[in-house]
A and B are shown apart, each in its own frame.
Chain A
Amino acid sequence: DVKVTQSSRYLVKRTGEKVFLECVQDMDHENMFWYRQDPGLGLRLIYFSYDVKMKEKGDIPEGYSVSREKKERFSLILESASTNQTSMYLCASSRAGRGEQYFGPGTRLTVT
């Protein structure tokens, strides 16, 4: 079974802190994704990566950056957390050319 794990299920940070969210997949997938999920807005793509060190902006990249130094690991970085970044963050991975994505359990981030 494909497994996608995220470093924390719940995280509480203060405004202005630098926040790292980590995601690891164990199935050698080429593609990895970060989404945020908010009530009434569904899933919105922040960034995705199709290879090591390769990344592309999604629909809402402002205030975020990413890092992919190894194929299995994709990190989301909030350079200076703000209260409007309080959300559920979901990581996903998929094979190149295959349809489905596999999701991690999510990290619920609260910025106070």
Chain B
Amino acid sequence: GDSVTQMEGPVTLSEEAFLTINCTYTATGYPSLFWYVQYPGEGLQLLLKATKADDKGSNKGFEATYRKETTSFHLEKGSVQVSDSAVYFCALRTSGTYKYIFGTGTRLKVLA
């Protein structure tokens, strides 16, 4: 079945460091791909999305490119801030279904 694998956390970085959180997927058909962020004590918020191969989603300095050949959707940010400390979830939705498949989440901690 469909699945999402993302890197284990926690990831600890200093402020202004470069961030990469890896995400790979297995899916039948052509999924839409998402990154969600969860701040402490809150629900998930959509961070960015991509709906077809080679699409790049971007928001708040974060980027991710839909790579069909490597079945990946890695999240990147050039310079992280303390306020980016949160849990990040990679997710997919296969066309023609209602279901979303989530990775287990990666906790990011950014130190001042």
Which residues in A have some Cβ–Cβ distance to B below 8 Å? Answer: 4, 31, 33, 40-43, 45, 48, 50, 56, 58, 90, 92, 99-106
- CA–CA, A31 to B41, complex, Å? 24
Contact A106 to B49, CB < 8 A, known contacts A31-B98, A43-B89, A101-B100 = no
Contact of B34 among A48, A58, A99 (CB under 8 A): A99
In contact, B32 and A99 (Cβ under 8 angstroms): yes
- CA–CA, A78 to B36, complex, Å? 27
In contact, A48 and B99 (Cβ under 8 angstroms): yes
Q: Within 8 Å of chain A (Cβ to Cβ): is B46?
A: yes
Contact of B44 among A31, A40, A50, A103 (CB under 8 A): A103
Pairs across A and B, CB under 8 Å, 9 listed: A41-B104, A42-B102, A42-B104, A42-B105, A43-B44, A48-B98, A56-B98, A99-B49, A104-B43
Q: Within 8 Å of chain A (Cβ to Cβ): is B109?
A: no
Contact of B93 among A42, A58, A99, A104 (CB under 8 A): A99
Contact of A100 among B46, B104, B105 (CB under 8 A): B46
List chain B residues, Cβ under 8 A from A58. Answer: 99
Closest CB in chain B relative to A47 CB, distance in Å: 11
How many residues of B are counted as interface, with CB atoms below 8 angstroms from the partner's CB atoms?
A: 20
List chain A residues, Cβ under 8 A from B36. Answer: 103
Q: Which of B20-53 contact A (CB under 8 A)?
A: 32, 34, 36, 41-46, 49, 51
Closest CB in chain B relative to A109 CB, distance in Å: 15
Closest partner residue, chain B, to A35 (CB atom): B102
Most buried by B among A43, A48, A56, A105: A43
In contact, A105 and B34 (Cβ under 8 angstroms): no
Contact of A106 among B43, B51, B93, B100 (CB under 8 A): B43
Q: A99-B32, A99-B34 are in contact. List 12 more A-B contacts (CB 8 A).
A: A40-B104, A42-B89, A42-B102, A42-B105, A43-B102, A45-B99, A99-B49, A101-B100, A103-B43, A103-B44, A104-B43, A105-B42
